[in-house]
Amino acid sequence: MAVEKKLDAAINAAEPKQPSYEELKNYCDQLMIQRNQLSQRLQQVTNVINKLPWLFEVVKTKDTFNETFVKMCVREIEEIMTPPEENQDNKD
């Protein structure tokens, strides 16, 4: 009899617990927040990708633009093309 109880307890422990409605709702809320953050980041990257050819065009035809504006475009190209520095924490 004791062996059967231990076996039943082991089987019940192995079965995954069904999440409650609140747990599922919290999980869905977290996924929605993450999706929104990813969507915003994708939009930012898309904007940069669309803007970069125009920045290069300004530099190519720099004689038609104000020198200050051309310098600003060059700085922006440099910022976009320079990889971000890795955090010191990530290297450890």
CA distance 65 to 61: 7
**What whole-number distance in Å separates Cα of residue 44 and Cα of residue 50?**
10
Is the distance from CB of 59 to CB of 74 less than 8 angstroms?
Answer: yes
Give the list of residues 6+ apart from residue 77 with CB closer than 8 angstroms, or none.
52, 55, 56, 59
Model pLDDT for residues 32-91, shown as the tens digit of each residue? 999 999 999 999 999 999 999 999 999 999 999 999 999 999 999 999 999 888 875 555
In the block, tokens 């320079």 appear at 82
The per-residue pLDDT for range 13-39, each reduced to its tens digit, is: 666 788 899 999 999 999 999 999 999
